[in-house]
Amino acid sequence: SGESGAGKTESTKLLLQHIMNLCKGNSQLEQQILQVNPLLEAFGNAQTVMNDNSSRFGKYIQLRFQKNTVKGAKLSEYLLEKSRVVRQDTGERNFHIFYYMFAGLSSEKKEMYGLLDPSLYRYVSGRFGTEDVAQHWKHKYQEVCNALDMVGFQEQEQVDMQAILAGVLSLGNVTFEPQENSVSVKVSETSQGWLKAAAVNVLRLLVCSVPSSSLSSLVSHCHSLSPYADARDSIAKVAYGRVFGWIVSKINELLAENVDPEVELREIGILDIFGFENFAVNRFEQLCINLANEQLQHFFNHHIFQLEQAAYREEELPWETIKFNNNEPILDLLLAKPLGLLSLLDEQSAFPQATDKTFVDKLNSSFKGNLHFQPGRGRVLGFSIIHYAGNVQYTAGGFLEKNRDTLPANVRGLFINSVTPLLSVLFTGKSFSYDGTSHINQAPPWQDLSHSLMVLMERMYSANPHFVRCIKPNSQKEPDVVDAQVVLQQLRYNGLLETIRIRRDGFSWRPSFEEFAER
């Protein structure tokens, strides 16, 4: 655990390499486990203001052993930040894969996918760097292609997948305008070309069986929900999310253990989850990420302080209780039912007339006087939560829409009836979930996250956890610079000063009574 940019993903990769090295094997499986990282990072990581290679999803890697040999592995993913596909804040980028495709695809392939100059695309506009950066992206694209081959993606699947990504970019450039002498809306004249490009890669694959007088009227039918641009962006986000889930599912097929089910395997699990975030503008995604970090901090407190000191009391040892910052009140504020913040969000999301403003009004009246909640200040609609790691001001715009996470039913039907097998598979109403299986995805995103974290916590409570705390040396993304204040702030809010004290004053050697008596 640690802040965004503290080094969690790099530490995870080093830890995996170390474990594979200790296995003393050089099996194909061990190499495959190490080589899926380029694939996951290309589709799941992006540049943010805090980190040039920020994980925009959480992952839990389970390594399964028989004796000292790895027999299989399984990857679980959490809460991919799909909204990044359609919008990035200043100084940030979309997911790496889009840039790698522009840099790495040949001219012929770009023409096949209908890709033009990258600066033309709204979803990635104006975010291209120097020639050195382009060469780096080109190299990364080759890494991704090698990883796709290694994981076992068929050539046609790779073509379909890149066609979907190219179609998503073209779809982002489709705009709408009112139809003359009518209350309906049509695709604007200036974006007809983008519509056709999107249709070649995505829509035409979807709509072969749907009679429609023209592509324009088809998209108007598709976007039966208002506003039209939101529905367009919903298609882009859902398509990307399904591709990512499908990649994880394929990785799990490749890495699954091939042993007798009767054989009991031992397991080491490594959790690399998105770090605590506090940007200039914090949205629904940051709230979900920070909720996950609150739950992990609570688990840390429970294990390091509560269980430890309970054992001392049980043994009737002379012990002065060490106090720690218990973040249970913050979890109650967020998760309590029926009046926690996220329950109120669900309640508001169920009302068609509700708006982000009615949601914020509800929060202000429900949490008046709560020490961990502050009403928004200024003209921006929002609120603040005083988290274990500090005060975060959230912008409430888009909360209800993102929590509903809806895709028009007729659009879903078009995807299901696609003549492209990949699209049909991705949109049969199932999504690929945190436990490696597929499930019908009806729950709001935070509920998906909450449920998957609950399953994860159950696993962790039944295991023997080791905590790797990653500390960010400075806020400027600079090497060889240690900012003492930045470091001290993290040591404080992580509870590491109290942890050092309990380790120093506590009892590190724990023999059983039998061991003690025998000695």
Q: Give me the CATH number covering residue 341.
A: 1.20.58.530
Binding site for ATP: which residues? 2-9
Catalytic residue list contains 4: yes
Residues 161 and 55 in one domain: yes
Q: Is residue 197 part of a domain?
A: no
pTM: 0.86
Catalytic one of 41, 81, 277, 285: 277
- pLDDT at residue 59, rounded to an integer: 92
Residues 271 and 288 in one domain: no
Q: Is residue 200 part of a domain?
A: no
Residues 167 and 243 in one domain: yes
- The residue behind tokens 């100059």 is 117
Question: What's the one-letter identity of residue 7?
Answer: G
Residues 288 and 337 in one domain: yes
Catalytic one of 167, 241, 245, 275: 275
Name residue 282's beta-bridge partners. 394
Catalytic residue list contains 277: yes
- The residue behind tokens 């039907």 is 413
Distance, CA of 230 to CA of 172 (rounded, Å):
11
CB atoms under 10 Å from CB of 168, counted, come to 25
- pLDDT at residue 507, rounded to an integer: 85
Residues 17 and 114 in one domain: yes
Catalytic residue list contains 214: no
Residues 146 and 260 in one domain: yes
Binding site: which residues? 2-9
Residues 389 and 424 in one domain: no
Question: What's the one-letter identity of residue 25?
Answer: G
- The residue behind tokens 């039209």 is 228
Q: Is residue 179 part of a domain?
A: no
Token pair of 475, please?
């806020």
- 325 contacts 388 by C-beta, under 8 angstroms: yes
Name residue 375's beta-bridge partners. 383
Phi, psi of 325 (to 5 degrees): -80, 100
Count up the domains in the chain and report the number: 2
Q: pLDDT (tens digit, 0 to 9) for every residue of the chain, 519 residues total?
A: 999 999 999 999 999 999 988 887 668 888 888 888 889 999 999 999 889 999 999 999 999 998 888 999 999 998 899 999 999 988 899 999 999 999 999 999 999 999 999 999 999 965 677 888 899 999 999 999 999 988 888 998 899 899 989 999 999 998 888 877 766 777 888 888 888 888 666 554 443 333 333 344 444 444 443 467 887 888 899 889 989 999 999 999 989 988 888 888 999 999 998 889 998 899 999 999 999 999 989 999 998 999 999 999 998 999 999 989 999 999 999 999 999 999 999 999 999 899 999 999 999 999 999 999 999 988 899 999 999 999 999 999 999 988 887 666 666 666 666 655 676 677 665 444 434 444 434 566 777 777 777 888 888 888 889 999 999 999 998 999 999 999 999 999 988 889 999 989 988 788 889 999 999
Catalytic one of 1, 45, 48, 54: 54
Q: What is the DSSP string of 428-461?
A: SSEEE-TTSSEEE--S-HHHHHHHHHHHHHHHHH
> Which domain does 149 fall in, by range?
8-172+231-275+408-441
Catalytic residue list contains 27: no
Distance, CA of 21 to CA of 25 (rounded, Å):
7
Catalytic one of 45, 48, 51, 290: 51
- 206 contacts 227 by C-beta, under 8 angstroms: no
At 181 the three-state DSSP class reads coil
Catalytic one of 1, 9, 249, 494: 9
Q: Is residue 211 part of a domain?
A: no
Catalytic one of 1, 5, 77, 83: 5
Residues 259 and 123 in one domain: yes
Catalytic residue list contains 9: yes
Q: Is residue 48 part of a domain?
A: yes
Q: Is residue 356 part of a domain?
A: yes
Q: Is residue 204 part of a domain?
A: no
Residues 16 and 44 in one domain: yes
Residues 26 and 80 in one domain: yes
Distance, CA of 464 to CA of 514 (rounded, Å):
22
Residues 48 and 125 in one domain: yes
Residues 254 and 375 in one domain: no
Catalytic one of 45, 55, 290, 293: 55
Token pair of 415, please?
């995807």
Q: Is residue 49 part of a domain?
A: yes
Catalytic residue list contains 51: yes
